[in-house]
Amino acid sequence: MKVTRVPAYFFQIEVTTACNFRCFYCIGRSWQPRHMRMEQFEVILGRLPNGRHTVSLQGEGEPLAHPQFWSMAEKVIDAGFIPYTITNGSLVDAERMAALFPTVGVSLDTLDAEEAERIGRRDLPRVLRRFDALCRAMGAERIIVHSVDLGQDLTPLRSFLAERGIRRHVVQPLQHKEDYRQRYPERVSSLSKSVPGGPCSYLMRPRMRFFDVRGRGLPCPYIKNPAYYRSDDELRRDFAAAMIPSACAGCGEIGAATP
């Protein structure tokens, strides 16, 4: 008998744009802080297809700053999905996190307290204490560390993670899209909208959906101005015509996918 496997998708829900950090590279720090209403969250969950999909509570804010974060995580589990989140670590309840999340992402850019403050990442000693508590509660194999490459020396951070047995360390560059780039124009150069390139993996092999804090569904988490977005098909048509859609102009994901 042939078994039909339902593909596993990654759904990202921006539960809040509020944050207790002021990281200079975060576009959300230019926005009015806003929490997603629980009613909206439940509507999104109810529309997701059945399957062992991952639902990440994650966006342009600190997820744990949402007053109903833990209830949201429980609802993800009750719906039959796998919960995930990326936190800045400052508000972590290690035991509670370990009980609900199979895997957790933690955002760390540096071990230098002064550099962390310059970036906008506050009270690094507190973050590291809570990070170590999370390591003890969850084990290194359940933690993924995410860093933004700002040109800083990542060697101390890599050594720190290796000492704790953490092998999964995701390092991403600064995003070149204009709405991001305006927060750090001196750090990245402008990319022309006319630069040729094929669709990104979000369009070539769609395996995720991003829902912003207002509940709008988008093909990726990098489209920050929904006025430029009408549909995935329209984006694909623009790319097929060798045009870079306004929603995607400057994005570092363009051309990164292979058929």
pLDDT digits (tens, 9 = 90+) for 45-80: 999 999 999 999 999 999 999 999 999 999 999 999
Distance CA 8, CA 142 (A): 19
Residue ranges in the chain whose pLDDT is less than 50: 1-6, 191-195, 257-259
Mutual angle of helices 69-78 and 38-47, in 10-degree steps: 20
Distance CA 247, CA 24 (A): 22
Alpha-helical runs (H) found in the chain? 38-47, 69-78, 94-100, 113-119, 124-138, 155-163, 178-181, 201-204, 232-240
Q: Which residues contact 62 (CB under 8 A, 6 or more apart)?
A: 16, 18, 19, 20, 21, 87, 88, 90, 91
Six token digits for residue 24: 């200079």
**The overall pTM is greater than 0.85:** yes
Six token digits for residue 125: 């000693």
Q: Which residues contact 96 (CB under 8 A, 6 or more apart)?
A: 70
pLDDT of residue 207: 76
Hey, is 217 helix, strand or coil?
Answer: strand
Query: Cα separations (Å) of 231 from 29, 179, 210, 259?
Result: 27, 20, 13, 20
pLDDT of residue 112: 96
Hey, is 147 helix, strand or coil?
Answer: strand
pLDDT of residue 259: 44
Taking a C-beta distance cutoff of 8 angstroms, is the pair 240, 166 a contact?
A: no
Distance CA 105, CA 142 (A): 9
pLDDT of residue 22: 96
Hey, is 173 helix, strand or coil?
Answer: strand
Q: Is 188 exposed, middle or buried (0-12, 13-18, 19+ CB in 10 A)?
A: middle
Distance CA 8, CA 199 (A): 21
pLDDT of residue 114: 96
